[in-house]
Each structure stands twice: as structure tokens, then as C-alpha cells.
Amino acid sequence: MKKILALLLAAAMVLSLAACGGSNNETTAAPTTNAPTTAAPTTAGPTAEPTKDSSFDMNSVTGNYSIASFAVGGSWYTMATVCGDAFTSACPNVTVEVLSVAGGEGNPLLLQSGEADFGLTFGPVANWAYNGIIIYESANPKVASVAGKICLPHHLDIIINKDSQSKLGVSTFDELIEKKIPFNLVTAVVGSTGELCANLILEYYGLKYEDLEGWGCNIIHTDSSTAFEQLKDGISDVGIFTNGYAQTDCNEASLYGTFRWMQLSDGLMTFLKTNYGFSDVTVKSTEFTGIDNDFPAVGLTTNISCNADLPEDVVYAFTKALCENGHLGDSYVNMASFDAAEACLLSNNGNIPLHPGAERYYKDAGLLP
């Protein structure tokens, strides 16, 4: 227990810096915080309705359960509350407590230990926890998937200053690496999700920070607001970030027209999806200034995971409540994009196994074969 609490404390410290490039906003999570603070488009909605099965008796499910989220008032806490309300509304003999601790990196540890029954996670971070890689010293096999992509995902971005791009004479990040061109790189605080993702990008190219510094690059680690300002002003040439949908600090800095997005190569995206649980996402031209056309990228989905030892009927009922409650976006606009047909896909769940109760529901609903 003491070791778990110590790990959670360490994770919580990182969480305050984390995912969306180390933002101070409640948009960072997986270590950092959580879903985008900017409301998702309300036009997004389910594209496939699950087949409703009235034969399962929701009244038969009883007990007291918990959902791990993050800080009270943040987007993850709100989403966990919405999910809990859907569960208790559908199952009147159930109560749910929303836990305001741990966050993206710590929640998988709570699920593994059984100190939380359900929890919000980032798809890639759940993958790392399950497999015992990146920041996790050992595998956490009791972390199981329930529903992926419960809101619009964060995406992993490489952004270059427009003047720097002209000065460096490159159109892709691969060119910078292949030609060993010195440049100033800014990314998130060390240990945050954004910074961990920057390391994964370098890993694909067989590099570490010291390799870049060896050919004259300068590496800066800072909070996202400062990073975007440096990139806007040309103090830094290139930035690597995890951005939430229309993330405020990135959006405001992009308005000056000095940002250009560098699309990740197909090989890099395949590497991140295959090995580290990232998902497919499309970055829209309407999301930030400096994006000329929609382009494919990799995303960090916000998911609901659970303890694998939970009874099958409990997780079945929870999943059914999420998918058949009407529309989660009616309760919280950031969840307006929730789609049961997307929620069941392993690619949107960090490529870790579904809990048998969730899998059974999706099959009964006609969403999985």
C-alpha cells in the first residue's frame, strides 16, 4: 500500500505539469490532466446506434463502486461524474463515488490495486501501464478496457515556426533529422506526457536528446504556454506537443500566423500506434491557425478502464449505461462526440483487452462480431 501511495504521489506531481505539452490547464492528463477545455463541436454525435437489449436486468446489479478521475472541477472529474450518473440512473441499486486523485498516470495503478473500480485513462498511458513500459516498472494486467474515445482525443503535434522553416530549408521533420540540421527544440516539462511522447518520436529515429545536442540542437523543456510563446516568436524553431482539441494556449499563439504543422510520417505513426497504443485521428484545418488542410495524425484517446477482477455483469451494466443513456453530450458538451461504435475498438483503447463484461455488451449490441 505504501508503495502504491508513493507512486500515486509522484504521478500526481507529474500530472500537474502534463499531457498537453505540460499545460497548466485541466486539459493535460495522462500524467497531466484531462480532456480539452475548449468545448467539442456539438454537431458530433454517434454514427451507429447500439442494438438495445432489454433482456439484461439492470436492477440486478448492486453495490458501491468508484471512478478515478482527477482534480475536482476539471474536465476529467466532470466526465467521470457524467459516467457515474449514467450508471446509477440505469442501475438504481448502485452507488458511485468519483475519486479526485491520481489522474492519467496514477489511475491505472489504482485500478491494478483495486483501490478504484473504474477510472479515466489515456489510451497510450493505459497501454504503457498494462505492458509495464515507459514509466511503469512492471506490467499491470488488471487494467482492462471498457470504453474508448469518450471525448475528442488529444493529438501529437510537431509544429515549426514559419520563419524558421524558411531559414532551415525543410518541409518535413524527417529532413531535419536526416540532414542533422541544428535547430532549437521546445517541448514539455520532463516526465509529462508531452515530453514522454517527444522521446518516443526520437526513439523512432534511433535518437536521444544528447544526439540532437551533439549536432548543435538546443533542447528546452517548459510549460506549454511558455513553449507556444517561444515558438510563436521564433525563439524556438520546432515544438513537439500533445494538444487537446482547440487547446486554448496553442490556439491563441497560432493566431499570430507564425505556426506551421509538420505532418508525422506514415512510418512514425505506424510505429506509435503499433507499439505504444496511439490511435488514428484527423487534425482539422479549422482547429488552429496555420493548418491549411485536414491531415492524419496520432491521438491520445481519453478512455474508461476498469479493474479486470470486477464481475462481468457489473461491467456489462456500466457499459450498457454509457452507450444507451441517450447522449452523454447532453450532460457535458466535451462528450458530445462519444460514439459506441468507436468506443468498442481496441485501437481506441490503447490496444489493451476489453473487460469480458464490456466485450459481451458490445457483441450483444451488434457492435462487435
pLDDT attached to residue 309: 98
Mean pLDDT, the chain, rounded, equals: 87
Distance CA 282, CA 274 (A): 18
Residues 40, 245 contacting (CB under 8 angstroms):
yes
Residues in the chain predicted with pLDDT less than 50, given as ranges, are 1-46
Question: Among all chains, which residue has been given the C-alpha cell 488488471?
Answer: 142
pLDDT of residue 47: 53
Using only C-alpha atoms, the chain has a radius of gyration, in whole angstroms, of: 20
Indicate whether 2 belongs to any domain. Answer: no
Residue 16 maps to a domain: no
pLDDT, position 53? 66
Residue 46 sits in a domain of what CATH number? 3.40.190.10
Question: Residue 193 has what pLDDT?
Answer: 86
pLDDT in tens, 172-187: 999 999 999 999 999 9
Do 201 and 256 lie in a common domain?
A: yes
Tell me how far apart the alpha carbons of residues 58 and 183 are, in angstroms, rounded to a whole number.
Answer: 58
118 forms beta bridges with 67, 306
- Domain span at 117: 34-153+301-364
115 with 127, same domain: the answer is yes
pLDDT digits (tens, 9 = 90+) for 23-59: 333 333 333 333 333 344 433 444 557 777 668 899 9
Asked which of 269, 300, 331 is the last residue of a domain, the reply is 300
Indicate whether 100 belongs to any domain.
yes
Split into its structural domains, the chain has a count of: 2
Element containing residue 249 per DSSP (H, E): helix 248-254
If asked whether residues 178 and 111 sit together in one domain, one would say no
**According to the model, what pLDDT value does residue 320 have?**
97
Query: Could you tell me if 127 and 147 lie in one domain?
Result: yes
Any domain includes 57:
yes
Given 244, 276, 300, which residue is the final one in a domain?
A: 300
Asked whether residue 309 falls in the same domain as residue 280, the answer is no
Q: Does residue 88 share a domain with residue 118?
A: yes
Q: Is the same domain home to 234 and 339?
A: no
The pLDDT value recorded for residue 108 is 96
Identify the residue whose cell numbers are 475498438.
345
Is residue 354 in a domain? yes
Within a domain: residue 121? yes
pLDDT at 327: 77
Same structural domain, 197 and 236: yes
CA geometry: angle at 192 spanning 250 and 108, to 5°? 120
The answer to whether residues 331 and 310 belong to one domain is: yes
Domain check: are 145 and 53 in the same one?
A: yes
Last residue of a domain, one of 265, 284, 300: 300
Same domain? For 119 and 199 the reply is no
Q: Is residue 17 part of a domain?
A: no
User: At 142, which amino acid appears?
Assistant: K
> Do residues 166 and 97 share a domain?
no
Per-residue pLDDT tens over the stretch 351-365: 999 999 999 999 999
Return the closest-CA partner of residue 261 out of 234, 235, 293, 230: 293
Place of cell 500524467: 31
In a domain, 369, yes or no: no
How far apart CA 324 and CA 10 sit, in angstroms, is 37
C-alpha cell at 187: 517541448
